[in-house]
């Protein structure tokens, strides 16, 4: 089992944030910087990470590590890089992610394999590697950025996205139960529609722009809610009143009715071609 000797005081630990180059990840970094937390910023786009480090470096120490989590070797290399620098990570934010639009068979297997490596396998491995030192220190925070998609009935298109987010929510809940009493909080953050680059990257911006503005939140607000939730020990948090209502309806309505309602609107935010 991997170990890193923790310092005497847990508050000297760093927050490691994957997918920190933009969107919710960058705003989680800003939120932790505002609270005085040293940062390890991780993403593929090193130039963006360095720009963020320049922005936040006057508030807290920032370490930049460029890493592509689609590479199966990346989690171990990332853990080794922090260990070599003597960095104790007491806050792990598993935020890196993206969507693969269209039907399951519309993409090649390498595309799906990379997706699963980033959104599922790397999350489990990074948690497994960094958690022992948190347990040794008696203090830790793990914030897993899931999605409302993991709480609502499935729809056609983006086939693996909702499935991986549902897994991430259950993984977070199970881990939170295991770590109860050890000083470690585990939270699944479940945003709905959020103003980020996510929909530009997956080519869905034109479709989602038709959705009501009332259901959208800024990434800064989502970040604040997520950090507040993990610090207070909440296991699952859905951001925004409208999204909480959608999640509640999905939970309490008869499954066929909930699926029909979600399916009727899915063409506005899912590409199933």
Per-domain residue ranges of the chain: 10-267
Q: Calculate the alpha carbon distances from 19 to 89, 257, 272 in Å.
A: 16, 36, 26
Q: What's the confidence (pLDDT) of residue 199?
A: 44
Instruction: Find out whether 24 and 192 touch, Cβ atoms under 8 Å.
Output: no
**Per-residue pLDDT, 2:** 62
Sequence-separated (6 or more) residues with CB below 8 Å from residue 168: 94, 119, 120, 123, 144, 146, 150, 188
15 - beta bridge partners? 39, 91
How far apart CA 259 and CA 250 sit, in angstroms, is: 8
pLDDT of the residue at 203: 46
The Cα 273–Cα 34 span in angstroms is 43
DSSP 120: I
Q: Could you tell me how many helices (H) and strands (E) the chain has, helices first?
A: 11, 9
User: Which fold is adopted by the domain 10-267?
Assistant: Rossmann fold (3.40.50)
For residue 270, what pLDDT is reported?
A: 54
Residues of the chain with pLDDT under 50: 4-11, 199-209
Active site residue ranges: 161
Residue 117 is given by DSSP the state I
Residue with tokens 């171990």: 76
Task: Give the three-class secondary structure for 16.
Answer: strand
């Amino acid at each position: 089992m991997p170990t890193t000797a923790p310092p005497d005081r847990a508050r000297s630990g760093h927050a490691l944030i994957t997918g920190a180059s933009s969107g919710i990840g960058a705003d989680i970094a800003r939120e932790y910087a505002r609270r005085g937390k040293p940062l390890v910023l991780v993403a593929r786009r090193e130039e963006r990470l360095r720009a963020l480090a320049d922005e936040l470096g006057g508030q807290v120490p920032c370490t930049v590590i460029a890493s592509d989590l689609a590479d199966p070797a990346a989690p171990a290399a990332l853990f080794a890089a922090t260990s070599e620098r003597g960095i104790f990570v007491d806050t792990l934010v598993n935020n890196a992610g993206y969507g693969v639009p269209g039907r399951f068979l519309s993409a090649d297997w390498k595309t799906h394999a990379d997706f699963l490596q980033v959104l599922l396998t790397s999350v489990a491995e990074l948690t497994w590697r960094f958690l022992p030192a948190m347990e040794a220190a008696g203090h830790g925070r793990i914030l897993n950025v899931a999605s409302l998609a993991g709480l609502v009935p499935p729809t056609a298109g983006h086939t693996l996205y909702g499935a991986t987010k549902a897994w991430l929510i259950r993984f977070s809940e199970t881990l939170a139960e295991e770590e109860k009493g050890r000083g470690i909080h585990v939270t699944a953050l479940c945003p709905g529609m959020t103003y980020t680059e996510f929909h530009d990257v997956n080519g869905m911006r034109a479709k989602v722009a038709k959705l009501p503005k009332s259901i959208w939140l800024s990434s800064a607000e989502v970040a604040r809610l997520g950090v507040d939730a993990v610090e207070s020990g909440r296991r699952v948090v859905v951001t925004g009143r409208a999204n909480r209502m959608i999640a509640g309806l999905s939970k309490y309505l008869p499954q066929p009715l909930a699926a029909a309602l979600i399916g009727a609107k899915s063409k506005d935010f899912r590409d199933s071609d």
